[in-house]
Chains A and B, each alone.
Chain A
Amino acid sequence: MTTVVLDVVRDSPRAYRKRRRRPGDLKWLVLISALGALLRVFPVRGIWLDEAISVAQARLPYPTMLHQLMYGDLHPPLWGSVLWADVRIFGYSPLALRIPSIVAGTLCIPLLYLLGRELFDRRTGIAAAVLLAAAPLAVWYSGEARMYAFYLLFAIVALLGQARAIRRGDRAGWVLFVAGSAALIYTHYFSVLQLAAQHLVFLGLALRDRRLRKQWLISIAVIAVVLLPLVPYVLQQLGNASSPGASPTEGTGQPVSLYTVLANLVWSLWGYHSNALMTQLVALWPVAMLLVLALLGKGRSWAVTLLVAAVAGPVLGAFVISIKAETFFEVRYFVSILPPLIVLVARAATGWLPSFPARAVAVGALALTMLAGLADEQFDPANPRLYDYGGAFQYVSAQSRPGDQIVFAPDYLDVVVGYYHPAQPATPLSDQRPFEPSPGRVLVLASFLDQPATAALVGGTLSTLERNGRSIRQTKHWENVTLWILE
């Protein structure tokens, strides 16, 4: 593979000096990554529904799990395979389940430094690493036994590979790009939105450079070959997508608008918060106008274009898709926007300010706001993303006695019940068959009560029980979980 360096992106000696790593960088990077790892390990949240689904799949023999994914799920197989291996090595504790995500989420930090340095300079790289270490959304998904930390990791690898391929044209750059792109698609199908944006940038540059065009076309061919085994998988899952119940959880329930886009952008930088706080934060949208004005006169570069495309492409793509299916406009489905967004913010903080103290204050202040967002995200019980099934089932196990009947709703909580396996058997409530209470106490555990069907089912069951002479002795709430004990 010959070396291709576009004239338009060739380094000046000054730019090269600014990008070259300094000995102190490694020390800082280790420190930032270590702090980032600590934030990702503690605190450990309880397992929630989607994680429990993954765990249930990982319990199966490997070929059965792949079959189950292919015929009963909508996700590509990479994450399932990683989790399958993880549970057999580390077991099923919440921390053990999250080891792959924690490792991937921590690896994102030094990789983002490399991306920032490759695109701009080492200052940007350091600032981006600091901000990602504290980014609530990155911390959130690094603490979840799902594929989103991998989504973040491979998104950075694909961007880093592209940046190297454009700037240096070396083999390592193209290999990183191809590997990152393929791994991304094997991790989450929505990553095609980011890759499409990246290829548009390639197209724009390749129109001006014949040698780059050749390398780019080869990379597309290699990616296509690597993705071939996925084709039957995708075709089958496209069929699954039309079947009911493929994705049990619902979206925000709000119509998709620019307001929704803003809410998702706030989530991406400052994490998940209570609805009341989100309403207040999104009301501050005029500040975005200031940002647009501040961009006047800042010039353009291929690096900025690449990052803006990597942010705008997935958001626009998800926005268009969500016109048909509103639940798809959800930041986790385009979580790949977080790394380029953070690099852009880091670039603005380090590139627009004239002195080191000003830059340090700006980056520090941003990181502090992110840490505040992280604290609120993790500890505010009003955060609608928190599901404390662990606490609820621990309580149920402690309170239940022989003869008690435990029921739960909605029925797809069976995977969560399967994970926490309370002391007494639990059965799902169903609107298909009538509930027949036993003579002992009835413990009704419910979640997703914001969904009308679930609320109606639970409300109906409680009314029936009360009509039959039972009375509610205790009502207890955890984050998004409620327990009624009736005697």
Chain B
Amino acid sequence: MSRRDTVTFRLLVALCVATSIWYFVWLLQPSRVGNPVLYGLLVLAELFNLGQAAGFWWTCLRRRVMPAPPALFKTWDVDLFIPVYNEPADIVEPVLRAAVALRGARVHVVLLDDGNNPDMRILALRCGAAYMRRPTNRGAKAGNINDALARTGSPLVAVLDCDHVPGPRFLEATVGHFGSGDVAFVQTPQFYANAPHNAIARAAWSQQALFFGTIATGKAGFDAMFCCGTNVIFRRDALMAAGGFPEDSVTEDFELSIQLHSAGWRSVYVPEVVAQGLGPEDAASYVSQQLRWSRGCISAIPRVLKARLPRAVKLQYLLSASYFLYGWTLVIYLLMPLLRITFGTQPLAGTSSASFLMHFAPYFLLSIISVARAGSGGYTFDAFALAAANFWIGIVSSVRAVLRRPASFVVTPKKGAGGWQPRVVAPALAVTGLLAGTSAWGIFHDPTPGVLNGVAFAAIHAVILVRGSAGALVPARRPVALSSRTPVLADVVSMDSRRVS
């Protein structure tokens, strides 16, 4: 990030803060209270989003150009684990072949097969990798890795998901950071190589690009970057001191990071794409992935609150852990036009549309511009719509977390099933139907400007929900074979500039 970009972004954040104050001072006037319950809900939703936005700006302001890894004074031994669980061999093979060819360290590739698939043993042997399996599947992926930790001994341990092909620089770009004795792990970005070929993967990548491009570099500035489960290298001592990966969580990587940071270890984030993977290729895969992440993150909130972490690091963890609660705010926003059209009930009173617009529009506009600017234009409307259409995920996850319902580790499908998946987006479609029906009733029953305003709000929600659901309703194109993935690593540049070709 150039100095000019930094100055521009700081100015933008200053404007964002000013417009936020301008809006919230106006909103929180006692005279604005219309229906007290709706007003309370609206303020809650707005404050949550302001908190997330402020956290985003704060994180982005901490972005730093990452120093190059220190020169390697010794050749490290690295155990590279590739956990599998019944994934297709044609997905796993390129990963194995690229892993055994890695340079920059003495690498010992181990295929950890929880599927007990004889073909995997043959594949591992054919590629020059070791093969391990265990009698039980206890602890899912975390248990699989912990089992392998006990049976290997290199000082560094790398973990790659079985659909993430490492590039030649994977170890060269990362291992040098372990020269510093307090570094527990080095995380690198996840990159979806199938993004150009698949709409869901493209939208999911756009979400990921914002995280791994801007947010992660900002978190690294706070020394608060957490492990993302793949494309990561650990110091074995740190892992062992933490007792290995937690097996009672569906986001074992997130919880492990909390433990390591609480114990005083540091993490490093290398914003260079050194491995390419596959993003979810259909709506069901995306939902499965998001359900696991949201459940894990929301369940981790109490642990974050209790953890003995520096305040800034704790806040960073809280921002990430609470992100999926946005689903609740969306429900509140969806409720407002429905109630206004049907009953004429409004959260605000004693004001006019012109006044609301004058205070809200600058805040809204600048917040969007800040996301666009921070993401260098990489965060798309489709990414936003996909997240919005799956608002129910955060709600289901938080309800289950509160009820302490057990979570199960579900592996994200590596190949999209394609075809129609209306069940996956049924909540979004149901809400869209409700919005459309209520709007139609309002237009025919009482087409006053107030009702039309509610209809316009309903319409934008409906468009966003339909757009976000489109991936489940329009049959996906044939999944991209791993072997035919676009060879991107030669063209890839740092995630700092977010221009991954």
**Chain B 275-290 per-residue mask, 1 if CB under 8 angstroms from chain A, else 0:** 0000000000000000
C-alpha gap A282/B383 in the complex (Å): 29
A279 within 8 A of B: yes
**Chain B 447-481 per-residue mask, 1 if CB under 8 angstroms from chain A, else 0:** 10110110111011001100000000000000000
B371 within 8 A of A: yes
C-alpha gap A292/B381 in the complex (Å): 9
- Evaluate contact between A290 and B463: CB separation under 8 angstroms: yes
Q: Which of A130-138, A176-184, A297-305, A371-379 contacts B (4 or more CB under 8 A)?
A: A297-305
A258 within 8 A of B: yes
Q: Which chain B positions have C-beta within 8 A of A285?
A: 353, 357, 453, 456
- Evaluate contact between B456 and A283: CB separation under 8 angstroms: yes
Contact of A299 among B377, B381, B452 (CB under 8 A): B377
Distance in Å from the Cβ of A250 to the closest Cβ of chain B? 20
B382 within 8 A of A: yes
- Evaluate contact between A287 and B379: CB separation under 8 angstroms: no
If the complex has contacts A279-B449, A293-B464, A297-B378, are A287 and B354 also in contact, measured as CB distance less than 8 A?
A: no
Q: Which chain A positions have C-beta within 8 A of B206?
A: 297
If the complex has contacts A258-B361, A296-B372, are A286 and B381 also in contact, measured as CB distance less than 8 A?
A: no
C-alpha gap A101/B377 in the complex (Å): 42
- Evaluate contact between B364 and A289: CB separation under 8 angstroms: yes
Q: Which chain A positions have C-beta within 8 A of B354?
A: 257-260
C-alpha gap A345/B456 in the complex (Å): 20
**Chain A 262-303 per-residue mask, 1 if CB under 8 angstroms from chain B, else 0:** 100000000000000001101111110110111111111000
Q: Which chain B positions have C-beta within 8 A of A284?
A: 452-453, 455-456
C-alpha gap A361/B381 in the complex (Å): 21
B28 within 8 A of A: no
B380 within 8 A of A: yes
- Evaluate contact between A280 and B449: CB separation under 8 angstroms: yes
Contact of A297 among B364, B380, B452 (CB under 8 A): B380
Of A293, A298, A300, most buried by chain B (CB within 10 Å of CB) is: A293
C-alpha gap A257/B359 in the complex (Å): 11
- Evaluate contact between A297 and B357: CB separation under 8 angstroms: no
Q: Which chain A positions have C-beta within 8 A of B122?
A: none
Q: Which chain A positions have C-beta within 8 A of B352?
A: 259
If the complex has contacts A293-B368, A296-B371, A297-B206, are A286 and B456 also in contact, measured as CB distance less than 8 A?
A: yes
Which residues B370-392 have CB closer than 8 A to chain A?
Answer: 371-372, 377-384
Q: Which chain B positions have C-beta within 8 A of A294?
A: 381
Distance in Å from the Cβ of A376 to the closest Cβ of chain B? 16
Distance in Å from the Cβ of A203 to the closest Cβ of chain B? 15
B358 within 8 A of A: yes
B365 within 8 A of A: yes
C-alpha gap A242/B371 in the complex (Å): 46
Q: Which chain B positions have C-beta within 8 A of A287?
A: 456, 459-460
C-alpha gap A257/B452 in the complex (Å): 20
Distance in Å from the Cβ of B386 to the closest Cβ of chain A? 12
**Chain B 127-147 per-residue mask, 1 if CB under 8 angstroms from chain A, else 0:** 000000000000000000000
Q: Which chain B positions have C-beta within 8 A of A258?
A: 354, 357-358, 361
If the complex has contacts A280-B447, A286-B460, A289-B460, are A296 and B358 also in contact, measured as CB distance less than 8 A?
A: no
Q: Which chain A positions have C-beta within 8 A of B464?
A: 290, 293
Contact of B453 among A257, A286, A293, A300 (CB under 8 A): A286
C-alpha gap A279/B449 in the complex (Å): 6
C-alpha gap A295/B459 in the complex (Å): 17
- What is the chain A residue whose CB lies nearest that of B460? A290
Q: Which chain B positions have C-beta within 8 A of A279?
A: 449
C-alpha gap A293/B461 in the complex (Å): 11
- What is the chain B residue whose CB lies nearest that of A289? B460
- What is the chain A residue whose CB lies nearest that of B359? A258
C-alpha gap A96/B352 in the complex (Å): 46
Which residues A223-276 have CB closer than 8 A to chain B?
Answer: 257-260, 262
If the complex has contacts A258-B354, A292-B364, are A286 and B457 also in contact, measured as CB distance less than 8 A?
A: yes
- What is the chain B residue whose CB lies nearest that of A256? B354
Q: Which chain B positions have C-beta within 8 A of A262?
A: 357
- Known contacts A293-B384, A297-B377; can you find 4 more A-B pairs with CB under 8 A? A292-B364, A296-B379, A297-B206, A297-B382
Residues of A within 8 A of B (CB): 257-260, 262, 279-280, 282-287, 289-290, 292-300
Ordered by A's residue number, 19 sampled pairs between the chains whose C-beta atoms are within 8 Å are A257-B355, A258-B354, A258-B357, A258-B358, A259-B357, A283-B449, A284-B453, A284-B456, A285-B353, A286-B457, A290-B464, A293-B381, A296-B368, A296-B372, A296-B381, A296-B384, A297-B372, A297-B380, A297-B382
- 6 tightest CB-CB pairs across the interface, nearest first? A297-B380, A259-B354, A283-B449, A286-B456, A290-B460, A257-B354
